Copies of this chain bind each other. A is one copy, B any other.
Amino acid sequence: MQAKADGQNYAPKGKSEPVVGPGEFKVAAVGLDHGHIYGMCNGLSEAGADIVMVYDQDPAKVEEFQKKFPSAVAARSEQEVMESDVKLVAGAAVPAERCAIGLRAMAHGKDYFADKPPLTTREQLRQARDAVQSTGRKFGVYYSERLHVEAAVYAEQIIAQGAIGRVVSVSGFGPHRLNAGSRPAWFFEPERYGGILVDIGCHQIEQILFFSGAQDAEIVSSRAANYNLKSYAAFQDYGDATLTCDNGVAGYFRVDWFTPSGLGAWGDGRTTIIGTDGYIELRKYLDIANDPDGDHVYMVNHEGEHHFRASGQCGFPFFGRFIRDCLDRTEIAMSQRHAFRVMELALDAHEKAIKL
């Protein structure tokens, strides 16, 4: 519960649904700066991956990681990981460093799975795309606010079943708890975390593209602000943007660092999907003043008002699909194009943002 309330250590656990046998898919964790590495490795592990190795410059972080994943041997260097027989490198380094680790992993013939944001600049995006092209390796991204949320998986299923007709609008709200005192220095430095529209905005862009069923979108408008954290002048505690998808769906998202102390989760994340015949509202991490547990799917259509609890219902199919994609060289879990295009749009939003 504390981890849930803190947010940066929020690491969902799901059902064990292996898609590979023991030893068939070896993973190393490289870069433990963000607690998301635990969610990433939980998901991979539940889908059958073996977390066999770990590396970080900070031995304390490695030791902590090994408590959760005792099977992971501490590598003496990143190079040792790169020269090992792991198939996938999973990393949650400081955002600005995530791409470089991926480039090295791909150069060594490994697929890569980066925490979001997987990169923070256009140059990194260009390098990542080039590396995918030249090496044929994968650069996956942990867009956790959809991939690791059962309410979102449930929504995907009922939308596909036609529950709300044709989707016309997708809105996402991603408030986060700041926990300023427990954050490392890089968290507040734009050139290292990427800015709010990149860092946590990319989650929302990913969901807008996904739930709209669009192949592409453009940023119509975007804004960013530092309303209240004057002690970190370059930090941004608020951002929003409107997107128009290539299939005409209207997207909007808002992200912020204003989750108040009294909320029983790290953020009151919501996604609202409006269709021609109904709408869905996801209350992802709790249902304020109603239920401290998450994964609430509210759906209203011509038949009535419905409330589903998705927790424990769907699991997290992304991870097994991603492992199979790595082994089978398919793109079932997520296309490479989508993973990168989301970041390109996040960079667009960041660069054109009006400062409030």
What residues of chain A have their CB less than 8 Å away from a CB belonging to chain B?
164, 166, 168-169, 171, 173, 175, 220-221, 223, 225, 227-228, 238, 240, 242, 244, 248, 250, 252, 254, 256, 258, 260-264, 268, 272, 274-279, 281, 288-290, 298, 300-307, 354, 356
Contact = CB atoms under 8 A, between A and B. Distances in A.
Given A171-B254, A220-B221, A250-B254, 8 more contacts: A166-B228, A168-B225, A169-B254, A225-B250, A228-B276, A238-B250, A262-B305, A268-B279
A228 B305 contact: no
A250 to B, nearest CB: 6
A326 B219 CA distance: 46
Q: Kindly name the residue among A238, A260, A261, A303 whose own CB sees the greatest number of chain B CB atoms within 10 A.
A: A260
A240 B252 contact: yes
Given A254-B171, A300-B262, A354 B288 contact: no
Nearest to A241: B242
A262 B301 contact: yes
Contacts of A306: 289
Identical chains in the assembly? 2
Given A223-B242, A223-B244, A307-B289, A302 B250 contact: no
Contact of A227 (B240, B276, B281, B356): B276
A145 B93 CA distance: 47
Contacts of A305: 262-264, 288-289
B356 A261 contact: no
